[in-house]
């Protein structure tokens, strides 16, 4: 009886805790939505938990602002985030497969070197990166925001761990015996096995690229090439007399819609990918 009572209490406590945590996570999204429906004057009066009536007015103010290319910024962010997610996951999976499936002298050194890059902050290499892309003629371009995502040590490590738990080398050897070329083996055999891991990392890479502010602010100058985080910073950086908090909250709300859609479409792979990647087969 005591055991049943304890288990019942633990279940109730777990559900209450999850409800509280869910409320804390969703509360800030609700406040963002509420603030996006209020005018600048209403926001200046202070906090309110009730929605206002200026949702479409704020949206039109952002969309029709000739000095603020909202649609172009969203398109730029979609291009950068989608391309970054695609090439990052593919080439990270390819690198992980190469280190996992092949034995060569510098295998341990290559793995250690990649892991060493993982702990190096982006800010340390910022000036060298800026000088490099300037000399290559790629300054004020979207390419420097996409190409470096080919090399992602964190995604590589996740892919490598996933391969260790999910891909038996005997399957690769059988494909080689059947005459399959290496790239065909990777694209037609390994990639389908890694689909959950690729989907998970595609989500994380997309979100990270979408929210990235430091590198775009470093290399982008013209407004027609700016991404969403820079445009939000431009709105927030306006002088006090011209600042419209309703427009700022509306732009933030518009900015998180693509991220929510990506999660809704691919979220089922997160649990599957993390579970399968963390459990030895």
62-278 architecture in CATH?
Orthogonal Bundle (1.10)
Q: What is the mean pLDDT of residues 221-248?
A: 78
In the chain, where the domains are located: 2-60, 62-278
CB atoms within 10 A of CB 172: 20
Residue-level pLDDT at 277: 46
pLDDT at 278 over 60: no
pLDDT at 2 over 70: no
Considering the chain, what percentage of its residues have pLDDT values greater than 90?
A: 14
Q: What is the largest CA-CA distance in the chain?
A: 75
List, in order, residues 6 or more apart from 122 with CB less than 8 Å away: 214, 215
Give the 3-state secondary structure of residue 247. Answer: helix
pLDDT at 83 over 90: yes
pLDDT at 114 over 90: no
Nearest CA among 167, 198, 156, 159 for reference residue 280: 167
CB atoms within 10 A of CB 33: 13
| Rounded Cα gap, residues 280 and 276, in angstroms | 8
pLDDT at 238 over 80: no
pLDDT at 68 over 60: yes
pLDDT at 106 over 70: yes
Q: What is the mean pLDDT of residues 251-275?
A: 75
**Token duo for residue 149:** 């995502």
CB atoms within 10 A of CB 183: 9
In this structure, of 39-43, 199-203, 274-278, the range with the lowest mean pLDDT score is 274-278
pLDDT at 274 over 60: no
Location of structure tokens 């890479």: 205
First CA to last CA distance, the chain: 38
CB atoms within 10 A of CB 135: 9
Q: What is the mean pLDDT of residues 142-153?
A: 89
Q: What is the mean pLDDT of residues 41-50?
A: 80
pLDDT at 281 over 50: no
Q: What is the mean pLDDT of residues 248-264?
A: 83
Cα 70 to Cα 66, 121, 250, 252: the distances in Å are 9, 30, 11, 11
């Amino acid at each position: 009886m005591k055991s049943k009572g304890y288990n019942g209490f633990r279940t109730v406590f777990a559900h209450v805790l999850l409800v509280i945590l869910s409320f804390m996570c969703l509360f800030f999204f609700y406040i963002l939505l509420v603030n996006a429906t209020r005018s600048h004057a209403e926001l200046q009066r202070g906090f309110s938990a009730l929605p206002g009536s200026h949702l479409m007015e704020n949206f039109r103010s952002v969309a029709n602002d000739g000095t603020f290319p909202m649609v172009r910024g969203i398109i730029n962010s979609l291009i950068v985030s989608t391309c970054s997610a695609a090439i990052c996951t593919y080439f990270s999976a390819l690198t992980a497969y190469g280190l996992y499936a092949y034995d060569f002298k510098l295998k341990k050194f290559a793995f250690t070197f990649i892991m060493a890059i993982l702990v190096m902050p982006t800010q340390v290499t910022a000036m060298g990166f800026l000088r490099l892309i300037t000399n290559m003629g790629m300054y004020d371009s979207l390419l420097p925001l996409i190409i470096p995502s080919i090399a992602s040590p964190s995604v590589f490590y996740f892919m490598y761990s996933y391969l260790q738990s999910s891909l038996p080398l005997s399957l690769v050897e059988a494909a080689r015996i059947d005459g399959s070329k290496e790239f065909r083996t990777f694209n037609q055999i390994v990639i389908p096995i890694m689909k959950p891991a690729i989907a998970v990392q595609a989500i994380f890479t997309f979100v990270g690229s979408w929210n990235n502010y430091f590198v775009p602010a470093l290399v982008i100058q013209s407004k027609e090439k700016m991404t969403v985080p820079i445009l939000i910073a431009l709105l927030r950086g306006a002088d006090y007399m011209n600042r419209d908090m309703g427009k700022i909250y509306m732009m933030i709300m518009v900015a998180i819609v693509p991220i929510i859609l990506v999660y809704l479409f691919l979220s089922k792979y997160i649990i599957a990918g993390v579970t399968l990647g963390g459990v030895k087969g």
